[in-house]
Structure 1
């Protein structure tokens, strides 16, 4: 602890110096002939130095904290010397001591305060060490080039004129060697920056979580900063707010990804963010009030400043809400959290429904994990908040949410939010439970239906069918035995019995034929057709092509399967084809089943395109029974059987 005292003292002193520079700039700004908006620069200085001081306090030997403190001090020097030099030269009477030299000395220190976070800090982030030894060269080139460019730019009359009036105390002579040195510095700076950035992108791609996320946060922040500093120069009121996101990204790494193993109290982070929001609000209001006060009467300026402060109130409230949401989640807005949960439930598919719901709960509470324990499972351990899930007076499980960090229990607001989310989670868990029960019951009923249908098929095919056939043969034998000796009444009775038996046999066959094929329930329509085609492979190879099909009505599905089955059987038995193809597709509200072969074909009957045959007649009857039609085209090059069966309203 003693080893941290001196570094912490130095870092805190740097924060106080930044605050003092900001206070001086705020006092001087309204009194300058051309006031400049220095409040945002001072805020950036304080934010960077404060974030660096926090890291120095927690990890004194880490370079990242000291780099942030240095960036804050450089920006504070720019703000403070600009205010001292500008007022001391142009306004103060007599002029302040050394004002001209102070104005020139800090005129360009804002440049390294913005470039260092986007280059050198990126190279050391997030471990505080360079990834490899060769990284020293681009870092040194960037640092050296930046120092020379900063000093060279500050020793010019043009830069001095931006701060104060009159001749600059010291001006760099424009000779060939000074120009060469500046050009070399610019080249070194550009090469170092480019190398660091290319290597950082490669490192980010190769990194593993959470280092990849930490790098991604910083890269997404410093990229706009690089653009507004080097590519598209922007005014200070644009550059500095972009630079403010750098300490913000590092705070995200600390809070969300435990950067360097640091666990910071969320109350401390929330307090810091609140102070930043309030400070930004007061700074903007103060700058606006100062500007209005110079152009209007005191009363009017005060009234307009008050109105402006009221107008900025909603923006401050939104920023405050964003800070609260970043640190604590949705604890103050349970309605929005429940709405987001409902949206996730509406968008997620059934397989990912429960993970999506639990992810939403964890995000809303900024918790590392959330899960559901089924009734009877062992209870959660320490550091986990358990909430019973009940629906209709029935326990459906326990929602377990892990605490954000060891020793950081949920607050009363967090528990209220969890209580508001628990019923929604319970409803989802119960719905999934009922879905699984329904699926199990459906499988049981389907299995029983298959077994009963198979039993009926066996009984009819192996029992009643042969028995009726035997009775028919017996009647036929009696008729043959009696012959002409039977009287007319006996012959009529036997003929009628034979007709009845033949009709009963036909009825049994019709019942067997009308039973829904088992493969349709076992594997589905397309797979059933594929299975039948594979069974015919020894006789003729059959290729099945199927487009995505909508849900088929049961009778249409049965008719289509029977038609394809009968057509393929005819191909194997009668066509002599070398290959065949089955096409299944839905078009214009109709299911199209096409069976094509390259066999010998057959001539149409009496010039009609409908050839004779029991199989073809059966297929045509099946198609018409469901409101469809069957088209058969045959010739020496093969046969094409196409069935068009309606899928919906036209049936």
Structure 2
């Protein structure tokens, strides 16, 4: 039989045994309790309830994780709890109906003595989480001390003499006299046994406390997910410890049985969450309400005590109690809300009120003067919302260094959350896990909302900055172009035209006196005029290549290809262009292609270069590919390629370069045939 098969067989045996024992216990309860509502021992259901709370998660774990130590502990002690309930119900039945029954002494021994071990699994669960092994180093010593302290109670009840157990307890003395089996005990003085019995429960509480400390110590060096799992287990174990020390000794036995089942169920469920790594981390509200109701209960008790002490002696006790109820009722509702807000803030930062977090961030972003200040506000808002000491926000900027805002001190192992804006990753958030890590779906949804809100605002601010920079650049370019034209007209055309004018005036003055010299000056003026025409053509060609007007884009590129072909390189131009190509797009495509061809001719060593034109989704597509040596590295682009990208970006287009060393280069350009406004107007007309 395989290990998994043996584990599942043991699981089935445990479940069957528990079902039989549970049915037996409840059947005996139904026989005894209707006529004897206060039996000498706890009812059978009081053992079945915590037993089921441990058995169900334990059996699920044992079936899924063969012989996992934590699964074995839960399953084994779940069965023992249910059998303990059967033993208690059996003793109650024998007490009233058949005190001579053969099964009554072993059932009484199991309940009254062996049953003392049933709290011990809580200590084991805290110490063995999550891998089923004790911690090493000094924590192993603490773990062993917790185990020893937890075993004081079972040891005292298993081996102490009946005299020690029955001292000052007449009901137990009668039961011991009727059902105690004749088993040997350890020969220790009665005083020692009494001391052990007196110290048993405090030792158990101290053992639980040490086990809880060991469990909490696992948080150091744990991942955010493991820390979240530990929060469940620590929270439930703390409730159990508080109930064991402060609640159980002061409430009726029936209520103790009920609370014991509930608290053990909480611990067992928390262990399942931790071991199986289910993403059930919505524990914030439980933690917050635990704090709130703990403080409220303390406040209610304090109000009762103060009223009774202050005026209890002067008025009837019932009136004092009524006043206490009225005072508590008046203060309860508003105090609960305020306490919950404070507790939620302590437990999980401001994430407990996501609307307030988002609203606060929106106001901060509105007040921030620029994108850098908005990033700083986003970092601060995320830190406050998630109780983190370190948040770093990075925003990628095209063609430049990333913009960074830091809250707190950066750390090396921060979790990274991408900033997505309209399907594009524009940056990232590096966040340190705070008092509670960002793991639940609700947390991630809140963080996503914060990121989207800030991304839209920051991107708008960046686009505004880029737009302003673009306007300034256009103004500067326009003024530089005007200055260039002025210089060329003044320094180039101006002197040429002045010289022509001077020759013509001189020729007119010499026309009557020296006709031959006058004609020579006219001929010289005609030659100068040719230089003027050539200068004008040069200036015009710089503004817009004449070939575009004479031949169109394809013809102009064919002309460039013919001029650059040769020396072992062949350039071909293929494809088609849409009619009525916008002049700006036509010039940009010609300039980009010409620059690419010149680069290929000078640097690539290619034997073949292909230029392809076409239309794609309302965009002019231009591809220039060669079979040359390719770019040496991704970052080895020069000024020419940078200017090509700028030409494409000025029209709202894109330019992509793909190249591998020794495999050639492909430059792919997309230029919009219409502006965004024109495309929107077309879509509106179609609609």
Q: TM-score, normalised by structure 2?
A: 0.39
